[in-house]
Structure 1
């Protein structure tokens, strides 16, 4: 089979031939039909001290199962987060991380909707939104951010603001349902909001903490790190909540499954359709990473084996 790898930090991605893996106990062997490219994986290529397997969101058909697997059988379609080599024709997926894909949905639909949607829905739930509140979503054109904008509106937000890195993304973010679009670096992000969903972190944490009105809140779910000054919270009586999807999947499987069903319900009703920026082949994985690194995507970036 074909697999994407790299030899040194930041080094070019290339295809290699590798044996089809054997599923370990509790794992599914999946023939990948679509692979979602995520910012955390892109960052690992440039930041990890040693080369790591390129994992991520995969969707495809189960072709074999390891010992102890009870929920899935060969021939069924699944999607989930792969922690090993996911940029490949075949990948192993832990049963606990796998979700079924409905017959009417494509593999691209699955990788664009499920994992990104779970993060967006989870972060939004952590914000405890009330009807008619104002929301601000950073990285609003990203795979997660675009769904967070849509979900905030579906959950009854009265005003939705999208924050982006480039004003060229403004029309796209407005098409998702945002009322206003602000650009990182702008001195004025408009009227204060009731809650912020921040998927960027780093230097953007300061403006993100400043955006909520006094007494309101921010949910941080990105992998960009950053520091929040205690004084900024104290003077505005604000709160910051960290959200991590892996913890929900590991410790609250019922919540994970309930959110997954809600996402597919909204998809079936036509209320939530993820945007796909572009589809690349496996051989073009390096180009797909360049799009993410340049913050050029408007929606999900997908690899098609």
Structure 2
């Protein structure tokens, strides 16, 4: 089978396609014939920044080909999606059964890979923010794989006003069509609003601006890997809060809530309230081009590889 790998850190051009043995599922694992692979910013950053090469992991969607020992509930022929922490940029991938989510009838592999993982992050961040009906929301990276779903979910959950923040106002029309009342650019002096809660995936200077955009008593949820520094005095003056959200931790420690989020996402999808967007589809051999889109922050929705 084919797999994408790299031997040293660098830009997208370090990725290469090689032939390897098809893996065998171990205990508690599924072997998936991969139909779609989600490309994420953390993986793109890791390829450029981490000293040692990593397995290119991420969301996959496809058909179960074989099951490992001790797996209940799945047999060959099932269509599933889930997060592969090992090699996902491949024709076949090994997925822990505990991470698998059945793809319902009427949904494609593209729908699944664009919806589930990113949607789980968006829903988890919303719940961490304790979002209430009638509140004002600010969503950074509003055109990203997670952000474009967070804009829609904030509206579905009853936000009275949703503002999307983007790196380039060329993305404004896309974000407004998702349901945002206003779209603003990071370069502006203020992110405006004021917001009752902020979902931030960007960090850095944007984190500081987002905190300033909070109304007194507001909550900021950071779920990205961009870092940033917060001064305690910025929290104390107006009793603001900053919280972190990590999906993997929620999956381990709140399995019932995790499953509830998965069901909620598919219900919103089935009802037409949630529309996952795919920016572009790339062949497996064009993984470098897919990474380049993410690095340039040019995507409107999810970037997907198709083996």
With normalisation by structure 1, the TM-score equals 0.98
1:265-299 per-position Cα deviation (integer Å, ceiling 9, x unaligned)? 11111111111100000011000000000000000
- Tell me what 2:183 maps to: 181
- Tell me what 1:3 maps to: 3
- Tell me what 2:105 maps to: 103
- Tell me what 1:191 maps to: 193
1:153-192 equivalence runs, <5 A: 153-192=155-194
Query: How far apart are residue 202 of structure 1 and its match?
Result: 2.1
1:43-80 per-position Cα deviation (integer Å, ceiling 9, x unaligned)? 11011111111000000001111111112111101100
- Tell me what 1:262 maps to: 264
1:301 aligns with 2:303: yes
Distance 1:216 1:224 in 2: 21
Distance 1:213 1:101 in 2: 40
Query: How far apart are residue 102 of structure 1 and its match?
Result: 0.7
Distance 2:118 2:271 in 1: 18
- Tell me what 1:222 maps to: 224
Query: How far apart are residue 32 of structure 1 and its match?
Result: 0.2
Query: How far apart are residue 248 of structure 1 and its match?
Result: 1.2
Distance 1:214 1:265 in 2: 34
With normalisation by structure 2, the TM-score equals 0.98
1:21-57 per-position Cα deviation (integer Å, ceiling 9, x unaligned)? 0111111110000000111111110111111110000
The answer on whether the counterparts of 2:143 and 2:301 sit within 8 Å (CA) in structure 1 is yes
- Tell me what 1:213 maps to: 215
Query: How far apart are residue 104 of structure 1 and its match?
Result: 1.2
Query: How far apart are residue 303 of structure 1 and its match?
Result: 0.4
1:94-142 per-position Cα deviation (integer Å, ceiling 9, x unaligned)? 1111111112110000000000000001101111112111000000000
Q: Which runs of 5+ in 2 are unaligned?
A: none
1:181-232 per-position Cα deviation (integer Å, ceiling 9, x unaligned)? 1111200322311100001112221011111111111011111122211111
Which of 63, 66, 69 is 1:64 aligned to?
A: 66
Which of 25, 28, 40 is 1:26 aligned to?
A: 28
1:287 aligns with 2:289: yes
Distance 2:6 2:202 in 1: 25
Distance 1:76 1:47 in 2: 37
1:13 aligns with 2:28: no
Q: CA RMSD in A?
A: 0.9
Q: Secondary structure at the match of 1:143?
A: coil
- Tell me what 1:242 maps to: 244
1:161-185 per-position Cα deviation (integer Å, ceiling 9, x unaligned)? 0000011111111111000111112
- Tell me what 2:116 maps to: 114
Distance 1:266 1:62 in 2: 25
- Tell me what 1:204 maps to: 206
Distance 2:195 2:250 in 1: 27
Q: Secondary structure at the match of 1:223?
A: coil
Distance 1:73 1:176 in 2: 37
1:240-276 per-position Cα deviation (integer Å, ceiling 9, x unaligned)? 1111100111111111111101110111111111111
Distance 1:229 1:47 in 2: 27
1:3-25 per-position Cα deviation (integer Å, ceiling 9, x unaligned)? 00111011511100010001111
Instruction: Give the number of aligned pairs.
Output: 305
Distance 1:50 1:136 in 2: 36
